[in-house]
Amino acid sequence: MGQNWLVDRRFPAVMADILRHAPPLPIVELGAGNGALTRELLNLGRSITAVEVDRRCLTRLRRQFGARVEIVAADMLRFDYGPRAHHIASNVPFAITTPVLRRLMPQAHWQTAVLLLQWDVARKRAAVGGTTLLTASWWPWYEFALAQRVPAAAFEPMPTTDGGILTITRRTHPLVPHEERVGYQRMVREVFTGRGHGIAQILRGQLPQSAIRQWLSREGLGERRLPRDLNAANWASLHTAVKDRRHQPPGRR
């Protein structure tokens, strides 16, 4: 199932400590595995729900933690998160990182997610060295941060790449209203897949030239910047410009 158990106890402790500073909500652990992270989460004094699909792991988890942890036999890609506010923690199997994120991001009730991913994936999601389509698609509603690198030797069996601890925190004040998410994400996808040698050329399908120049000037961006160079505020501002343009009467466009 692609599991790589955390055997270096320093890193489960780091992940738990991040949630120690988050609001005191219940925690859902996705893929509890051998219980290394579960043990550290219990030290927080929160309600813990451990989700696991491997039957052997389920038996060990029940033996280790008994009634102290709610053990749920479920696939993390199909788990029902329910309506109550909570946090997420997970040592995510590297092979299903993207499906897990795509399943997690639209969920409405979690507040903070602390995820152990491949190092390169964690960096991309935190927009280190440039953002990606997935991160830009959700930036108005979440903040992404890279917490720490985890060496491959911290896992057993040892993977071919290091890991990285990524934190995702729901924004208290979204940069784009929730009801505009579909239109915003459509725009982001069109910009990322648009043709051109810079953002000014790419945006020709979204805005007239004069509006593109005004937006670039307002955001302090050069014409040759690429979609990967935009930050969360840039994307939210671009959405507003495109939305306002589309809502203008035809004679004023």
Q: 173-231: per-residue pLDDT in tens?
A: 999 999 999 999 999 999 999 999 999 999 998 999 999 999 999 999 999 999 999 99
The answer to whether residues 16 and 81 belong to one domain is yes
Measure the CA–CA gap between 16 and 114, rounded to whole angstroms. Answer: 8
Q: What is the CATH number of the domain that holds 216?
A: 1.10.8.100
**Single-letter amino acid, residue 106:** P
Average pLDDT, the chain: 94
User: First-to-last CA distance in the chain?
Assistant: 54
Is 61 domain-assigned? Answer: yes
Residue type, 216: L
| 105 shares its domain with 198 | no
Query: Cα separation of 62 and 243, whole Å?
Result: 52
Q: Check whether residue 130 and residue 201 sit in a common domain.
A: no
Identify the domain containing residue 190 by its residue range. 178-248
Tokens for 243, please give them. 């939305």
Q: Are residues 146 and 188 in the same domain?
A: no
Whether residue 98 sits in one domain with residue 200 = no
**Distance between CA 131 and CA 120 in Å, rounded?**
12
Per the structure, how many domains does the chain have?
Answer: 2
Shared domain check, 52 and 136: yes
Cα separation of 46 and 20, whole Å?
Answer: 9
Residue 90 falls inside a structural domain: yes
Q: Are 153 and 193 in a shared domain?
A: no
Of 124, 143, 170, which residue sits at a domain end?
Answer: 170
Same domain, 58 and 146: yes
Residue 251 exposed, middle or buried by CB count within 10 Å (0-12, 13-18, 19+) = exposed
Residues 234, 152 share a domain: no
How far, in Å, CA of 109 to CA of 184, rounded? 21
Residue 80 lies in a domain: yes
Question: Is 253 part of any domain?
Answer: no
227 in any annotated domain:
yes
> What pTM, to 2 d.p., does this model score?
0.93
Kindly state whether residues 110 and 54 are assigned to the same domain.
yes
pLDDT in tens, 122-159: 999 999 999 999 999 999 999 999 999 999 999 999 99
Tell me: do 187 and 141 sit in the same domain.
Answer: no
What is the pLDDT at residue 244?
82
Domain CATH number, residue 36? 3.40.50.150
Residue 215 domain-assigned? yes
Q: Which of 148, 170, 192 is the last residue of a domain?
A: 170
pLDDT above 60: residue 1: no
CB 43 within 8 A of CB 65: no
Domain stops at, among 170, 193, 226 = 170
17 belongs to a structural domain: yes
The partner residues of 115 in beta bridges, in order of sequence, read 90, 166
Asked if residue 36 and residue 108 are part of one domain, the reply reads yes
Res 249 pLDDT > 80: no
